[in-house]
Amino acid sequence: MRMQIDILSLFPEMFESPFSHSIVKRAISGGHVHINPINFRKYGIGKHQIVDDTPYGGGAGMLLKPEPIFEALDAIKEERPETKKRIILMDPAGKPFDQAMAEDFAEEEHLVFVCGHYEGYDERIRTLVTDEVSLGDYVLTGGELAAMVMVDATVRLIPGVVGNKSSILEDSHSTGLLEHPHYTRPASYRDLDVPEVLMSGNHGKIEEWRHKESLRRTFERRPDLFKELELSDQEKEWAKEFKQN
């Protein structure tokens, strides 16, 4: 099955370069996903294709009008009536995007991202969407950059896109832990040495070291994630060690 991703944006050309490289390009070339940025200004009102207007009741800024978004989504549905669509609104007030959400999106056959601009949306646009999602607790000029991040995080999880499936399963946040440190040759560089256990050939000891260091990194860098973990007896002993150090 090939995933379809449509992106409604006033600046569809912004997506050309990010999606022409690396994993996303490979996914497109391999037939795993088709990404279609759509300029919804073509559904704007009148000769000048107006897509925004002042808010009722007054206030600063301009709002995206409902008509262009409604009609753009109508066109998508008419073109592909057979697919179940997940319609995702880029919104600073939405649910924070995370790895679990990326994994959820990767299970879908058709994603539609709606990228806002200006001060916000006419509230009626929200009646069309299945998800309202935020990249973080800050405000961007528009939803395009957030959509790029979400598409990248999602596409790499589609089966067959990344050759080594285990590399995905061990990613930071996929297991609830941050990823352990990695090393490659040379074994020593500027008095910085690779831990001996990694060169020992003892795979059991290596896996134990990696798990402990993953837990340590989560403890030190993301205490919010660490406190949500259900620790084994061994992990509890390691946690005591971390606290002492």
Strand-by-strand arrangement of the 110-114 sheet: 33-39, 3-9, 110-114, 86-96, 131-134
Q: Identify whether the C-beta of residue 51 lies closer than 8 Å to the C-beta of residue 64.
A: yes
- CA Rg value for the chain: 23
The whole-angstrom separation of Cα 195 and Cα 183 is: 9
pLDDT number for residue 23: 96
Name the pTM for this structure: 0.87
The helix/strand/coil state of 77 is: helix
Model confidence pLDDT, tens digit, residues 8-22: 999 999 999 999 999
Query: Tokens in use for 179?
Result: 């990823």
How far apart, in Å, do the first and last CA atoms of the chain sit? 50
pLDDT number for residue 72: 98
pLDDT number for residue 59: 87
pLDDT number for residue 227: 96
DSSP E strands in 129-206: the ranges are 131-134, 188-189, 192-193
The whole-angstrom separation of Cα 129 and Cα 85 is: 9
pLDDT number for residue 12: 98
Of 188, 166, 184, 175, the closest CA to residue 225 belongs to: 175
**Cis status, amide bond into 55, omega within 30 of 0:** no
Annotated catalytic residues are 92, 119, 156, 171
Q: Which residues of the chain have pLDDT under 70?
A: 164-174
pLDDT number for residue 114: 98
DSSP E strands in 81-146: the ranges are 86-96, 110-114, 120-121, 131-134
